[in-house]
Amino acid sequence: MPDLLNLITDIDGVAVGHATDLALGSGVTVIVFDEPAVASGTVLGGAPGGRDTGLLDPSMTVSAVDAFVLSGGSAFGLDAAGGVQAGLREVGRGFAVGSVRIPIVPQAILMDLLNGGDKDWGLHSPYRDMGYAALKAAAKGPFALGTAGAGTGATTATFKGGLGSASAVSSAGHRVAAVVAVNALGSATIGDGPHFWAAPFEKEGEFGGLGMPAVCDHRMRLKGMNTPATTIGAVVTDAQLTKAEAHRLSLAGHDGFARALLPAHLPLDGDTVFAASTGRHRRDDMASLMELCHLATIVMARAIARGVYEAGALPAEGAQKAWRDRYPDGH
């Protein structure tokens, strides 16, 4: 389809906004829905940080969300959802409880406090204001990848991490897309070279078109044995899903982690995937759900590789080098 941007904003009714602070070495990304979206999510990493993630369990009462928030800042970054809630409340969004509306804004955070940025922010963290700013910046269409938003301070075992996104269309015409902040304890690249673990799923050279190396080095590479890390993201489709089906879609997104990062889901990872359906297009058969899960795995894997491929190093002394620093000519 010629109008696809290979971004999560290819899903009608989805906007994305960033707040990026290169000096801080951190940022916030907001995925906001025009209308409440049926949503769920899963945490498979051993060291997660989140806000309002419990309500995403399929057995819980609230079935729809107004937005998702991805943020740096570790536990300090959880303030970002408050800023997003404030902005949504301004425009009357939220779950109705009597005469009150409460915006539903699940959030996941990543650990970027040790990347060389200036974290001396005083008494209160900047993340509430950054969340509000990211919401106000949310728009349809293109948005920045790499060192932007929640991917600003992200790192991996081998190269600078970043924010990535990718999309696909099912045989039934349903769109499915992922956005992810890649801050992995492990690596998105193979051995010491430029190749990506996600290479078999690449489309149109979106992360260099290098394919797979002749020999794969499977040795474990970690950015630290005692350093918490988290890759956080979301998968969204325009196909109608129940909350339980959205939960299954989030698990398929984690399969994308396993295909693009080695290792993934470690005891010190907080790997989290949200999933949502805008419900714009009818779907009620098992075959289409299975294909959506298949594509969710693939778009997440591609988005992870794009996040690393598009990143640039932070302007801080000793900051981790980006893939493009080492391979400026693309290989």
- pLDDT tens-digit readout, 171-217: 999 999 999 999 999 999 999 999 999 999 999 999 999 999 999 99
Is residue 1 predicted with pLDDT exceeding 60?
A: no
Residues facing 43 on adjacent strands? 272
143: which 2 tokens? 């948005």
Whether the CA torsion 193, 317, 25, 141 is positive or negative: it is negative
Euclidean distance between CA atoms 14 and 12, whole angstroms: 6
Give the other-Cβ count within 10 Å of 313's Cβ.
16
| Among 54, 59, 32, residue whose Cα is nearest residue 41 | 54
Cα 50–280–40 angle (5° rounding)?
A: 20
Contact 94, 66 (CB under 8 A): yes
| Secondary structure percentages of the chain, helix, strand, coil, to 5 | 25, 25, 50
Strand residues in 110-201 grouped as ranges (E):
163-169, 175-181
Euclidean distance between CA atoms 97 and 99, whole angstroms: 6
Is residue 261 predicted with pLDDT exceeding 70?
A: yes
Is residue 283 predicted with pLDDT exceeding 90?
A: yes
- pLDDT tens-digit readout, 68-86: 999 999 999 999 999 999 9
Show Cβ contacts of residue 10 under 8 Å, excluding neighbours closer than 6 positions.
Answer: 3, 4, 167, 175, 177
85: which 2 tokens? 């809630």
pTM of the model: 0.97
Whether the CA torsion 201, 205, 206, 212 is positive or negative: it is positive
Give the other-Cβ count within 10 Å of 1's Cβ.
8
pLDDT classification of 224: cutoffs 50, 70, 90? confident
Contact 281, 237 (CB under 8 A): no
Show Cβ contacts of residue 137 under 8 Å, excluding neighbours closer than 6 positions.
Answer: 17, 18, 19
Contact 178, 166 (CB under 8 A): yes
- Cα distances (angstroms) measured from residue 97 to each of 68, 103, 131, 218: 20, 11, 24, 52
pLDDT for res 165: 98
Residues facing 189 on adjacent strands? 196
pLDDT for res 225: 78
> Residue 146 carries which DSSP code?
B
- pLDDT tens-digit readout, 266-282: 999 999 999 999 999 99
Average of per-residue pLDDT across 247-254: 98
Euclidean distance between CA atoms 104 and 108, whole angstroms: 13
- pLDDT tens-digit readout, 12-64: 999 999 999 999 999 999 999 999 999 999 999 999 999 999 999 999 999 99
Is residue 228 predicted with pLDDT exceeding 80?
A: yes
- The overall average pLDDT reported for the chain is 96
Do the strands 95-97 and 100-102 form a parallel or antiparallel pair, or are they unpaired?
Answer: antiparallel
